[in-house]
Amino acid sequence: MKIIVYGAHDDEIPYMTQWQATTGHTLEIHQELLDDTTIDWAAGFDGINVLQTTPYSQTMFAKMAALGIRFLTIRNVGTDNIDLAAAQAHGIRIANVPAYSPNAIAEFAVTATLHLLRRLGEVEAKLAASDYQAATAFLGRELAQQTVGVVGAGRIGRAAIKLFHGFGAKVLAYDPHPVQDDSLACEYVELDELFAQADVIDLHIPGIAANDHIIGAAELAKMKPNALLINTARGNLIDTQALLHALEHQQLGGAGIDTYERESANLLTLKETGRFEDPTWDRLRAMPNVVLTPHIAYLTETAVQNMVEFSLNYLIEFLTVGATETEVHPR
Ligand code: NAD
Ligand code: COI
């Protein structure tokens, strides 16, 4: 089969090359994203494989259908940036990789939590100013003494619950559709109770429209003033202006943000200008009680190898037997 790959990251390319050599299929690898203009490159290919968080447009799906290409697999989990109904209307079938390594993201959420609990950003800021005395004055908190509230007990949320429990924390969870899992050591509570009780609030829910700004000023006001908010899920879940206000007015203890609200726009600006043109990002970056990372919670060897190999295998299943178990359907 001939497959065109878009959005290839440097660290994915060796796994792509290896998959090609092992399977005998042909890959044409592009680092550019899939959009209305780059879709034309797919003429003559059997299927498309992509990694991106920017939207897939209606026009792109129409052009894809006109090229006679029906199957697209994405190398990531989140499908929030895809208009699945538009894809379906054009006869395009899509599969994601729902579990390339839930632990990768869950471990990152724990990493951000520990960093904030031990106040390492504040320590580093003092060391950067050569104030060694002040750097020794930040009393930390121990994870084992904290109550962690996990919002969204799906694959990643459940991995996070296990890790936090392993550290000795009391774990609360909220999910309107909890999966039966007797090995999970957590107590399911209503969201308001989770906000009121948790010292750490850890989000693992999809960035679909229904979850847009699920954390705004009203929700932040329900949290403890020293609570930590961790978001490795999607940027649109948090009203960033409300978060900034809460942090600047000591209404929140700190935040770990791997998925930033205007991430896509920012990344596009970065490509064009070589820098993030976003004062809100700069203000968050300057706060020692904020861990801000550029959407890297997934970025481990295991996850990258799996996202490449699984998504290409799903595409081959689509192309050879007409189905794959990870096909996604309109919400
Ligand atoms: P999943 O589908 O297995 O689980 C999501 C869970 O969230 C489901 O159980 C669902 O019932 C629940 N949910 C949905 N809306 C909710 C709400 N409003 N309140 C409480 N629970 C709600 O998904 P997953 O594999 O756990 O992934 C979660 C998200 O993590 C993905 O959608 C993606 O956006 C994000 N993600 C981020 C990275 C990263 O590198 N930062 C990597 C992979 C995935
Ligand atoms: C996902 O898999 O959904 C992610 O968020 C990671 C990715 C976009 C690299």
Ligand number nearest CA of 174 is 1
Predicted confidence (pLDDT) per residue in 147-163, tens digit: 999 999 999 999 999 99
Predicted confidence (pLDDT) per residue in 14-49, tens digit: 999 999 999 999 999 999 999 999 999 999 999 999
265: pLDDT strictly greater than 90: no
Residue holding tokens 């190898």? 305
Q: What is the rounded distance in angstroms from the CA atom of residue 122 to the CA atom of residue 137?
A: 10
264: pLDDT strictly greater than 80: no
- pLDDT, position 35: 95
Q: Specify whether 234 is catalytic.
A: yes
Q: What is the rounded distance in angstroms from the CA atom of residue 131 to the CA atom of residue 120?
A: 14
User: Which residues 6+ apart lie within 8 Å of 153 measured at CB?
Assistant: 161, 173, 174, 175, 178, 179, 184, 186, 188, 204
Take residue 4 and report the two structure tokens written for it.
């065109």
Across the chain, mean pLDDT equals: 96
Q: How many residues does the chain have?
A: 331
166: pLDDT strictly greater than 80: yes
Q: Which atom of ligand 2 is nearest to the CA of 259?
A: 5
Take residue 120 and report the two structure tokens written for it.
């390492």
DSSP state of 94: E
Domains in the chain, please, with CATH? 2-100+300-328 (3.40.50.720), 102-292 (3.40.50.720)
- pLDDT, position 275: 75
Q: Specify whether 155 is catalytic.
A: no
Tell me the torsion sign for CA atoms 46, 30, 209, 196.
positive
Catalytic residue among 12, 122, 234, 261: 234
267: pLDDT strictly greater than 90: no
Model confidence band, residue 195 (pLDDT cutoffs 50, 70, 90): very high
User: Which residues 6+ apart lie within 8 Å of 125 measured at CB?
Assistant: 288
Rounded to two decimals, the pTM is: 0.96
Say what percent of the chain tops pLDDT 90.
Answer: 93
**C-beta separation of 284 from 241 below 8 A:** no
| pLDDT greater at residue 262 or residue 3 | 3
Q: Which atom of ligand 1 is nearest to the CA of 157?
A: 26
Report, as an integer, the average pLDDT of 198-225.
98
- pLDDT, position 263: 85
User: Which residues 6+ apart lie within 8 Å of 257 measured at CB?
Assistant: 231, 235, 238, 243, 284, 290, 291, 292, 293
Q: Which atom of ligand 2 is nearest to the CA of 307?
A: 2
User: Which residues 6+ apart lie within 8 Å of 265 measured at CB?
Assistant: 278
Task: Out of 9, 81, 101, 105, give the residue to mutate to test ligand 1, the one with the largest number of ligand atoms within 8 Å of its CB.
Answer: 105
> What is the residue with the minimal CA distance to atom 14 of ligand 1?
205
Q: Is 258 in the pocket of ligand 1 (CB under 6 A)?
A: yes
Report, as an integer, the average pLDDT of 236-263.
97
Report, as an integer, the average pLDDT of 207-223.
98
Q: How far is CA 26 from CA 3, 19, 251, 276, 315, in A?
A: 6, 10, 54, 36, 13
Q: What is the rounded distance in angstroms from the CA atom of residue 39 to the CA atom of residue 254?
A: 42
268: pLDDT strictly greater than 70: no
266: pLDDT strictly greater than 90: no
- pLDDT, position 28: 98
Model confidence band, residue 270 (pLDDT cutoffs 50, 70, 90): confident
